Structures are given as C-alpha cells and as structure tokens.
Structure 1
Amino acid sequence: MDDKRTPGRRHHWMAALAVLLVLTGLQHGGAVPWGNENFYLIRLYRLGHPDFLANDWTLRQPAPEHWLFNHIAGPLSIPFDIETFGAMGRLAGWIGGLAVLLVVAREAGLTAPLAALALALWLGSGQSIVARSWMLKTFEAKTFAYAALFLSLRAVSRSAVEKAGLWAGLATALHPSVGGWGAITLLPALRRPPSARRAAAAAALFAVPAAVGILPLLLAPGGVTSAEEWRYMALVKMPEHLDPATWPVRRLVLLGVLFAVNVLVARSQLWERPLWRAATVWQAAAASVFAAGCVARVAGFDRFLATFPFRLFPLLTPLFFFLGACAWAAEGGWRQAGMALRAFLIAALAAVPSPLFGLADAARPALTSWFRAPTDLERALGWCRDRLPEDAVLVAPPWFRGNWSVSRRAIVASRVYHPYTSFREWRERCDLLLGPVGRGTGEEELAERYRRLTAGAVREAARRYGATHVVIDAELPLRKLAAFGEWCVYEIGGEAVEPGGNSGSSAPESSSANRPRGSTSKSRT
C-alpha cells in the first residue's frame, strides 16, 4: 500500500477523502451552531471573546472536561465571528478524522475505493449502534481525540509502543473518557510485552499529556459528589449515553452479532495482518468494558457509569464490521467461509441500520437548517437579541438547545447542557423552572411543565438569579414586550398592561406550531 511504490495511488486516496468529506457534510453540515455546538462551540468562542455572554451563569463555570482542547482551540477564534470559527473547526475535524480513518484502512490492506465504500456505509449507518457515540459530527474535542486514538491503534499494530503511548496520551488530554478508555483497552492489543525501557518510555509519553487532560477534571470544585447525584447524572440526565436499560434490545443483539462477525472474519482470513489482529483484540477489550458497564447498571454502581464505559464498543464494532466485510469480500472470503460465518454475516447485513436511509434522514434537517423559516420560539429569542440590553438574563425554555445561539443573551438554566462544576446549583435552577425531573421525562412533558410556570416562580428566578425577562408560550400577569404566535417576551419587573398598551409590543397572529397537541395557554399568578 506504499504510495512510493504505486505512483498515482495517492490521487485515489485523495478522491476517497473528498467523497467522504462530501457525505459527512451532507449529514452533519447544518447551519452553525448545530447540535452540541450550541454549547461547546460557545464555550470555546468565549475563550477568545471573554465579553461574549459574560454574565451567563452556566457559561461562566469552569470547563475541566476538555481543558486542553478548549485552551488550544478557543484562542484561535479571536479573528473570527462564531459562525465562521465553528465552520472552520468542523471542517478541520472532518478532514483530520477522515484522513486518519483512511490511513487505518490502508494499513488494514484496503484499496482506496473499498475504504471509501466501507467508511461511507459506516457514516450512513449512524457510526454507532447504541449509546449515541460518534466520531464525526460537530466541532468538538472528541473528533480529534478519536483521530489520535486510531493513530495509537496503528502504532500498536506496528509494535511502536512509544508512539502508541504518545497518541493515546494526546487522546486522553483532548477528551479524558475517549482517550482514557481507549488507552486501557488498547493495552491488550500489543503483540508482545515491550522491554522495560520501552515500556517506561511509552508510559511517560502517555502520562505527561494525559495528566494535562485528567487533572483539571479531578481538581474541579463542586462537581458530582453524592451517590444520588451520580445516579441522577447516569439515569436521568444522560440515559441515552449511560443507561443500557433504555436502549432497544434488538440493537444490543445486533451489536453482539456484529462483534461475532468481526472476530470470525478476522480469524478466518485477516489474522495475519497486524492491524486486524490489534483491532480485534481492541474490540474484545472494549466489549469487556461495555459488559462491565452493564453489570454496574444492574448493581447500582452509578459512579462507574459516569465514566462513559459505553463509548468505544458501539462505535468500533460497526466501523470494523464494514471495513472487514469489504476487505474480506474483495479477497473472495464468501467462497471460503463456513456456515457459521455466513449465517452471522447474513443476519448482520439484514439487521444493520440502512446506510442510505441513514444518510437521507441525517441530511434532510442539516440541509434545510440553512434556509428554513425560524420558528415562533426562535423569532421571540431573536427579538431578545435585537431589542434587549446585553446584560439581560432570560428565563427561557430549558429544554431548547438554541437559547444562547439565537438570543445571544444569558439564561437562568439549560436542562440540556449542564456544567461539570456547581452541579447542585444547576439542578436547583432547573427544578425552579421545571420541577423535579425523574427518569423517562421526555421533551413534551418538559415543555408542558415550562408552560405551567407561574409568575411567582419567574419572580423567584429574578430574586435568586437576576432574571430580567421571560420567554414563554403562555400568558403571564407581567408586561408583555413582544409576541410571536404563542411565544411571548415579558419584562419580569413590569406589571401587566392591556394589549397594545406598550409601544414595544409585536403581536402577530397566534400559532400552535411549537406546542404539543392538546396544550392550552392560560394566565397564572
């Protein structure tokens, strides 16, 4: 696979990269900010622009979980607006991540067309089977951490333990849970124990950068401390990532089938290639961590769940399934396969999420985000951006991801994005606006709870947290500044006035586009 011995092959790999870049852009190229960029990108941007949302309580909290990445990438935002910076960072992550995956595919013996096909199928199928793991989406630290981790895998397959330690340490520094579990599960993939001198060098090369990522997280004040808080974090706040009891059983079965296929394919025809051997052992180690997480869930050891033990296995398994299937098929593996492997492969292909449908489902909202009309809620938040003073603090729907990016104003609390410090106060703020939230509370119920927010609770938010205005789809006995459909902007300090009695009001016809069916709007004191 050496480009020097095969002139022109470099162009094949560049073409593969271009095709995959287009596919990734179609799936995840939504208008900036998109998805989790509504939180992580804004925190990054504030490191280069400290006056941006300077009075927001959540954004003022330390961000120890991605400390190194934030302090490298954040200052790079200084010359740019947030949209340009986010688009550039997203593109850099896609190019770097895809290039590394192609390097791994080439090391595994795939040609450029086969590598592009395998990675396109993996992207289209959603990248992971459960736990919502991903490598290539928005501009986040995990994209770069995964890239470093796959370079560590390549080094492990070559017995270059020093390079493996360095890349794994960098991955841990960028994203402690991705890199930390990655480093632990890569250890068994070493073909033979290194000498004491090389092992010490590899350990040092890992430990120095890893400490930069881990120590800020360990030393952060006011984080999750009690058993009840760990349980809340794992089972209430992030069950899609941390609670296997909420995942479809068929997906868990599929994950096991894919892993079995990967092992059989590797053992039957690919085992002599060092990268396949290392990748298979890596998956087995990641499967052990995944199983330990399931046991911890049953045993109630929620603190272990909060280390994200389910991150790697659901992502690695489909990735190497598609890579392995393409490599195996290209070498005539079907003709040599036994009945067990054929049965597992047919079952896996029948059950794996359709890459074509997956691509279409992801591309539709991403593409339409660039030209769709704003919702009534977004219009109300946009009015706040244009008309309210920069030091205003909003009571805004805590379940809506775009509060900061649309309004460009501070908010009392976000239920979606929590700080990793001051966890207890974050819960108190959310409980004031939504009441106590338990397992299984969906977005519709949260929206209905917020709609029932009373003027007394709003005034309490003003007293405790300095809130100045409220954006809500209900009538309140406060001074209404603007209305967009059923979403209204109120001044918390002002008393109610007759409709039309204030010159700043904008009240177009009512719309129920943003309300769950069966809901009503009532005035509450």
Structure 2
Amino acid sequence: MNPESTATKIPFPAILMILLIGGSFAADSFLRFPVPGTNEPHYLTKARHYWNPQWCADDFFLESSNAHLFFFQTVGAITQVLSLEQTAVLGRIIGFLLLAVGWYRLISVLCTGFWSPLITAWLYLALAAIGNFSGEWIIGGIESKVFAYGFLFLALANACEQNWNRAGIYAGLTITWHPVVGIWALACSLFALLILGFLNRKHIDRAMITGSTKTAIPACGYLILCSLPGLVPSLALLTQGSPQDSFAANFIQVFYRLKHHLDPMDFNLFSYLLYALLLVAWLFLARKQSTSFTIRFFQFFIIGTIGLACIGILIGAGPRPASEMPYYAFRMSLLKFYPFRLFDALLPLAFSVAILHLIQQYLINSATEKPKPAWLTLSLRKAILAVLCLGIFTGTLYSAWNHRPVHKMSPAQRADWIDACEWIRNHTPDDALFLTPAHATDFKWYAQRPEYVTFKDCPQDASGIVEWNRRLKYLRKWGQKYYNKGFDDRALQALQQKTGITHLLVKRLGPFTTIDPIYQNRTYKVYQLP
C-alpha cells in the first residue's frame, strides 16, 4: 500500500478558504479593536507576570489566582520573547486561524457549497456588529476563549460526523482553554444526544446500545484527559475562600462587577428584542432544514444553549435590589457560571447557517422552485449573492472602522495618556506602586508599573474579589473624606500608610496642596508621595 494514499492531505482550496475566513476575522478585529483591544491588557499582562513575577511585582491583580492557567502557561511564554503589542498581534493571528479552521470544518459539515464557510463568517460578523445579548463576543482581542471556540467548532464538526474520539479530544481542549465555555458546550452536546436518542428510541436495540457504549468509553477518556490542564485549576479555584467570602464574592460578581454579563435584569431592551427576533427567525427556518443526524444534532445543541439562557433568565428575574429575591444566595451562585454565554455567541451562527440554507434553496437549487424568468440564470443568481455578501462584509468593516474605541478617549486624551504612561515607565522606579484613574484599563500595558487596584482588573477567586472590593471602597471613602478638606500631607500620609501607594497618576483628583507634580501634560499629572 502506498503510504501517501492514507495520509490526510488538506487541499489547496480548503487552505485558501481558511485563510480568507481567518483574514476576515482579523480584519474586523484589528479595525474594531486596535491593539491593545478588549481584555488584552487584562490577560497579557497577567500572562507576562506569570512567567516573570518581578515584572510589576506587588500588583494586586497580577498576583491573584490564575483562573485561566493554561492560557498564561502557553501564551505567557511568548511575552518573554516578544513585546506585549507583538504578542497580541501574533496571538490574534494564531487564534483567528484556529477559529477559521474550526469554522470551516463545522460549516462544511452543515452546509453545501465551496463558499458557504466564508459567507456564514461574513453574516456572523455583520450580526455581531449590530449587538449581543450578554456582552459575549468571539472576534475581538486575544484571550483564552478565542482558542476555546476554535476547538469547540472542531468538536461540533466531528460530533456531527459521529467521529466521537476526535470530538472528545477537541471538547477536552475546549475545557482546557476555557472551562466555562467547554463545560456548557459538553452539557448542550449531551442534551442533543439524549433528545436524538429519545426521538429514535423505537429503533434502538441491545446491539446498538452495546456498540454505542464501546464507542463512548474511549471518547470520554480522551475528553477527560485533554480537559485536565484547565479543569483542575478551575475546580481548585472554586474551593478557595471561606463561605462568607464566597457569598460576598458571588454578590459582587453577579450584581456589581459583571452584572452586564450575568444579571439578566441588567441587559438592555434592545438586546432582548434583537435576540428574540433572531430566535424566532431561526426556529422558523430550522423547520425547513434537513432531518439528517448532522443537522439535527447541531439544532438540538443550539436548543440546549437556548434552554440554558432561559434558565438563567428565570433564575435572575426578580426585584432589585437582588437581596429581595427569594433564595437569592443560591440563585446568584448559579448565575456566576455565565449561563448566557453560549446562547449569546452561537445563536447568530445558527441563524447564519439557516439563512444560508434558505438562500441556497431559493437562488441555487432550482428543482423545487417555481419557474424563474429566463434572464435570471444560475450564473446571475450566484453573482447577485456574491455582490450582496461582499456588500455586507464591506459594511461590517466600515462599521468596525467607525467603532468607538474601547478606551473611550478622544485622540488628544489618548495621546496624553500614553505620553504620561511612557514617562512613568522611563522615570520612576520599578517598585513604584501607583494609584491610577478609576476606569483605566491599560496602565500596566504602557507604564509597566504595578497598580494598587483598578476596576477592570478584578480577581476571580473569592478572597481576591472581596479584597478587590475592599480596596475600591477604601479609595472612594478616602476621596470623599478629604475632598472638601483638601488633599494635604495628612491625607497623603493616610493613603500611603494604608495602601503602600508611592505615586499618583491623576486626571481630575486633587488639588494636592502640599506637593507639586513631577510630570504633567495637558490632561494628566504624576505625583510622588512624600
């Protein structure tokens, strides 16, 4: 036998399509979220600190527990060779290529036609540009969930093809990269299989059960083995902290720090209307799709994500403040596990697949259609579809180019911010501990100095969350106490003794009556405490 005949070869058209999809993801990402983008300062600075604890030593967030340990272990190694900016660019390229591979495999299984994966990718990007349900996104900055969704798509593709061993491997890798995404995906997959088994119960016999069991055992083994690098640290994180800290941390997470992701009463009306419209449209279109195992498994998987979101809404619905809800402690302990995440990310994908099926049936497949005018040839219909899809993608990129920056600063303020951070990096000692503006997100990225606390960088272990909240409350009370009296030596001494802060980077805080700035520009001032 010729060894080459058994080797798996990726045809050039598939490689080209993967590059086009990955390039589309990257174009939207770099235009909509220039480096550093969403969550990149949060993830990549912690990844660098993991490998080099002396970098920004004593930063409260960087020295907290590592929830996404596998990301820090892998991507963090790159930060020791490349700069943070270079790591972000390389990470996005690798992440979007993996995402494109998974996307291509899944859509190729669900849809016919060479261009289907690219068309659905463009439709998905257009829907993502309109809005989301709970703040979930896939195309943005680089973080662990980008890799997780890439492996999830590969797992779904192989599950649809009933390649269970490969599906188990990819599902395990999904959990390793992002346990929340992976565990919920596994639950939805099991739900889909149970529903399919129930619908086909009349055709199930003992031999089929025996064969399925023999297939499931190695697949489960692969899944468990591949999930351990991410699952073990996450389970350990859940067991940390006292019951009192766990209660307080859950409340802070669900109803304060992450309420835009976790509290359904905080989601805006537009999000509900948008996803209700998508859901109704998808349910209507799904009725006309194939009844094959491939399509049915994917559909029931999506229904599983819908069920999770509905359960999340029921758990979170109630009066506010949340403490007035019956059993609110138990309910918020469930909400902290992001029940809306997969529904938010994957319903637009399911809708894109369903609408493509409809377009193909109407424009491409003529056998079941009413007769069309002679001038509306198949080539012309394909050309119309191509122009329409290119127009959608062009409009999406234009919206990305006009997207409001993550930092929400004017160009002049942004220039002043970077200027102040670079001055700090070049003129302050490495062990300086800074108080920064309340909603600064990328101070460590540019200044490379530790911060006492920042709203964005919230730890994910119970005791860390409680301490994070305590530090923010102390700073707020300190500011309120001395605002009318003036920030004199007594105020600065109290701050330094309580926090260990040595330097201040301020925009509006002040005036400081007894010290002068050691640097200032049009927007920001830098102070050194006496």
Q: TM range, normalised to the smaller chain? A: 0.7 to 0.9
Residues 448-473 of structure 1: CA deviation (Å, up to 9, x unaligned)? 99988955565334213311011122
What aligned pairs does 1:170-185 form with structure 2 within 5 A after superposition?
Answer: 170-185=173-188
| Residues 1:313 and 2:343 aligned together | yes
Residues 165-192 of structure 1: CA deviation (Å, up to 9, x unaligned)? 2211211111111111111111122354
> Is the Cα contact below 8 Å between 1:12 and 1:113 reproduced in 2?
no
| Residues 1:470 and 2:530 aligned together | no
Matches of 1:5 and 1:56 in 2, distance apart?
Answer: 48
Q: Give the secondary structure class of the aligned counterpart of 1:96.
A: helix
Residues 296-317 of structure 1: CA deviation (Å, up to 9, x unaligned)? 1125311111101110001111
Match of 1:412 in 2: 452
Match of 2:387 in 1: none
Structure 1 ranges of 4+ moved more than 6 A: 4-8, 333-337, 366-369, 448-453
Pick one of 27, 31, 36 that aligns with 1:27. 31
Match of 1:291 in 2: 310
Q: Give the secondary structure class of the aligned counterpart of 1:212.
A: helix
> Is the Cα contact below 8 Å between 2:255 and 2:263 reproduced in 1?
yes
Matched to 2:472, the amino acid is C
Higher relative contact order (CA 8 A, sep 6+): 2
Match of 2:83 in 1: 81
> Is the Cα contact below 8 Å between 1:413 and 1:426 reproduced in 2?
yes
Pick one of 335, 339, 363 that aligns with 2:401. 363
Which structure has the highest helix share of the two? 2
Farther-moved stretch of structure 1 (286-295 vs 206-215): 206-215
Farther-moved stretch of structure 1 (138-147 vs 196-205): 196-205
Cα 1:435–1:73 shift into 2, 3 Å? same
Matched to 1:428, the amino acid is R
> Is the Cα contact below 8 Å between 2:189 and 2:301 reproduced in 1?
yes
> Is the Cα contact below 8 Å between 1:28 and 1:137 reproduced in 2?
yes
Farther-moved stretch of structure 1 (457-466 vs 34-43): 457-466
Match of 2:250 in 1: 230
Match of 1:72 in 2: 74
Residues 56-94 of structure 1: CA deviation (Å, up to 9, x unaligned)? 12211221x211222122223322222212211111101
The alpha-carbon deviation at position 206 of structure 1 amounts to 1.9
Matches of 1:394 and 1:6 in 2, distance apart?
Answer: 52
The alpha-carbon deviation at position 19 of structure 1 amounts to 4.8
| Residues 1:264 and 2:280 aligned together | no
The alpha-carbon deviation at position 259 of structure 1 amounts to 2.3
In structure 1, list runs of 5 or more residues that go unmatched: 338-353, 437-445, 494-525
Paired residues in the alignment total 460
Matches of 1:15 and 1:161 in 2, distance apart?
Answer: 27
Match of 2:295 in 1: 276
Matches of 1:143 and 1:198 in 2, distance apart?
Answer: 29
Match of 2:224 in 1: 207
Residues 98-155 of structure 1: CA deviation (Å, up to 9, x unaligned)? 2211221111124243331221121132276211111221111100111111111112
Normalising by structure 2, we get a TM-score of 0.78
Farther-moved stretch of structure 1 (309-318 vs 221-230): 221-230
The alpha-carbon deviation at position 418 of structure 1 amounts to 0.7
> Is the Cα contact below 8 Å between 2:487 and 2:511 reproduced in 1?
no
| Residues 1:165 and 2:172 aligned together | no
Match of 2:353 in 1: 323
Matches of 2:307 and 2:353 in 1, distance apart?
Answer: 22
> Is the Cα contact below 8 Å between 1:384 and 1:407 reproduced in 2?
yes
Normalising by structure 1, we get a TM-score of 0.79
> Is the Cα contact below 8 Å between 1:470 and 1:491 reproduced in 2?
yes
Match of 1:130 in 2: 133
Matches of 1:215 and 1:22 in 2, distance apart?
Answer: 32
Residues 232-291 of structure 1: CA deviation (Å, up to 9, x unaligned)? 21111012111111222242233233223223323213333x432222101111111111
Match of 1:386 in 2: 426
Matches of 1:25 and 1:112 in 2, distance apart?
Answer: 24
* Alpha-carbon RMSD: 3.3
| Residues 1:55 and 2:58 aligned together | yes
Matched to 1:58, the amino acid is F
Pick one of 14, 32, 39 that aligns with 1:10. 14
Residues 22-48 of structure 1: CA deviation (Å, up to 9, x unaligned)? 5334434513x2221111011112233
Q: Give the secondary structure class of the aligned counterpart of 1:269.
A: coil
Cα 1:469–1:160 shift into 2, 3 Å? same
The alpha-carbon deviation at position 201 of structure 1 amounts to 2.2
Farther-moved stretch of structure 1 (155-164 vs 137-146): 155-164
In structure 2, list runs of 5 or more residues that go unmatched: 1-7, 198-208, 318-324, 370-391
The alpha-carbon deviation at position 326 of structure 1 amounts to 1.5
Cα 1:450–1:210 shift into 2, 3 Å? farther
Q: Give the secondary structure class of the aligned counterpart of 2:58.
A: coil
Match of 1:118 in 2: 120
Cα 1:19–1:67 shift into 2, 3 Å? closer
> Is the Cα contact below 8 Å between 2:18 and 2:100 reproduced in 1?
no
> Is the Cα contact below 8 Å between 2:37 and 2:406 reproduced in 1?
no
